[in-house]
């Protein structure tokens, strides 16, 4: 009798153990073997690993191919996992799909966003809107566009969505003047649909490219060559030494990294006199550290409507932005401090970068 109870106890224990086993991981979502790809003026070249138009590969500021990884893309409550054998499997419970932050993509030089995907399951209603955040504003309904061809994809159909951000539907010409920090894609207007996203890119078109649905060639801004920084002259260093702190400014982005045969410095932000007019559109950028004291002119009149709105101001506050790249000689290791100055009737005003930069 006792042995029977022992056997029953062991069986019960084994049953409980089985019930407590962790649930198996979800099976990888695969792309159906038979899909139909909608013809597109921009297509994915599998052999070259690039998007191309008319046989010409497109330059990209960012390209995600999701080879066994989500590449930092996230969904707000949706299931987002690597697909088998390639891609990003998305089961929607919320429409939004976001890229990682910190893209630092110059919008004017890269005005195309490309999204190649396959629909696996029907949803409530197709959306397709693309939102984005920049170094000066977050995502919002005031900055978005739709694909040139926004025909809803059918189940089993692969499409390449092409977004012409040089003619964005709302907020133009914001993308073309901004440094893009993050993109967001709203695939559906509600939950339930399933997709595999194969590739996403922020790209530049070849010269003169005209796409179906666009009224003319895609606009592209030429890249501005970096400005060389020189050792600061003694008389100018004396003037800057007594510069008053700017009443309104922010060095929002500052980066220092090896570039070519020397180092490269990037500065983005704004500086304003907070007055009735701006004295000069040309300011001065400076970098101080153990390797020396360097400086160069910087434009401080880029459009910053967000600054004007914040201070309830007009044109002088709106024309207060800067975003410029500089080259430097090779710097010895150490900590460096960036500065941006603006001239006023009473002399220079100064904006010190809060972020110390390290040269290695």
- Find residue 89's DSSP bridge partners: 81, 196
pTM of the model: 0.67
SS (H, E, C) the chain: CHHHHHHHHHHHHHHHHHHCCCCCCCCCCECCCCCEECCCCEEEECCCCEEEECCEECEEEEEECCCCCCCCCEECCCEEEECECCCEEEECCCCEEECCCCCCEECCCCCEEEEEEEEEECCCCEEEEEEEEECCCCCCCCCEECCCCCCCCCCCEEEEEEEEHHHCCECCCHHHHCEEEEEEEEEECCCCCEEEEEEEEEEECCCCCCCCCCCCCCCCCCCCCCEECEECCHHHHHHHHCCEECCEEEEEEEEEEEECCEEEEEEEEEEECCCCCCCCCEEEEEEEECCEEEEEEEECCEECHHHHHHHCCCHHHHEEEEEEEEEECCCCCEEEEEEEEEEECCEEEEEECCCCEEEC
> Count of alpha carbons within 13 Å of 147, Cβ hemisphere only?
21
- The pLDDT of residue 296 is 97
pLDDT digit string, tens, across residues 67-100: 999 999 999 889 999 999 999 999 998 889 999 9
Confidence of residue 33 (pLDDT cuts 50, 70, 90): low
Specify the pLDDT at position 44: 97
The predicted structure's pLDDT at residue 98: 97
CA–CA dist 336, 353 (Å, integer): 10
Higher pLDDT, 4 or 299: 299
> In angstroms, rounded to a whole number, what is the distance separating the alpha carbons of residues 89 and 117?
10
Tokens, residue 319? 């024309």
Per-residue pLDDT band for 31 (boundaries 50, 70, 90) equals low
**Rounded distance between C-alpha atoms, residue 108 and residue 92, angstroms:** 32
pLDDT digit string, tens, across residues 302-328:
888 888 888 887 777 888 999 888 999
How does residue 25 score in pLDDT terms, banded at 50, 70 and 90?
very low
Q: Is the pLDDT of residue 28 over 60?
A: no
> Does the pLDDT at position 249 exceed 70?
yes
Whole-number pLDDT of residue 14: 38
Q: Check residue 246 and give its pLDDT.
A: 95
Average pLDDT value over all residues in the chain = 87
- Alpha carbon distance 237, 235 (integer Å): 5
Q: Residue 24: which pLDDT band, with cuts at 50, 70 and 90?
A: very low
């Amino acid at each position: 009798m006792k042995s029977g109870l022992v056997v029953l106890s062991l069986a019960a224990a084994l049953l409980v153990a089985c019930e407590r086993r962790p649930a198996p991981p979800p099976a990888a979502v695969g792309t159906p073997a038979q899909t139909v790809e909608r013809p597109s003026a921009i297509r994915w070249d599998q052999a070259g690993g690039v998007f191309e138009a008319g046989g010409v590969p497109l330059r990209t500021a960012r390209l995600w191919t999701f080879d066994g990884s989500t590449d930092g893309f996230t969904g707000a409550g949706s299931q987002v996992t690597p697909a088998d054998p390639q891609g990003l499997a998305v089961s929607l419970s919320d429409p939004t799909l976001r890229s990682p932050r910190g893209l630092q993509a110059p919008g004017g030089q890269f005005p195309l966003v490309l999204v190649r995907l396959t629909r696996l399951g029907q949803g409530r209603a197709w959306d397709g809107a693309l939102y984005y955040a920049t170094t000066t504003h977050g995502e919002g309904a005031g900055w978005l566009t739709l694909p040139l061809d926004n025909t809803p994809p059918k189940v089993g159909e692969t499409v390449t969505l092409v977004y012409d951000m040089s003619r964005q539907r709302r907020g133009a010409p914001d993308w073309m003047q901004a440094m893009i920090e993050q993109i967001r894609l709203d695939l559906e207007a509600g939950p339930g649909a399933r997709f595999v996203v194969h590739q996403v890119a922020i790209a530049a078109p070849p010269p003169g490219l005209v796409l179906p649905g666009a009224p003319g060639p895609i606009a592209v801004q030429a890249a501005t060559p970096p400005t060389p920084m020189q050792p600061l002259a003694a008389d100018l260093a004396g003037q800057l030494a007594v510069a008053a702190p700017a009443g309104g400014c922010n060095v929002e982005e500052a980066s220092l990294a090896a570039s070519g045969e020397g180092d490269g410095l990037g500065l983005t932000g704004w500086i304003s006199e907070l007055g009735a007019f701006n004295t000069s559109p040309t300011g001065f950028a400076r970098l101080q550290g153990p390797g020396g004291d360097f400086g160069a002119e910087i434009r401080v009149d880029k459009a910053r409507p967000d600054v004007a709105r914040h201070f309830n101001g007009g044109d002088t506050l709106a024309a207060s932005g800067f975003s410029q790249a500089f080259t430097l000689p090779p710097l010895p290791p150490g900590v460096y401090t960036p500065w941006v100055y603006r001239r006023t009737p009473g002399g220079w005003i100064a904006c010190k970068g809060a972020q110390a930069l390290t040269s290695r």
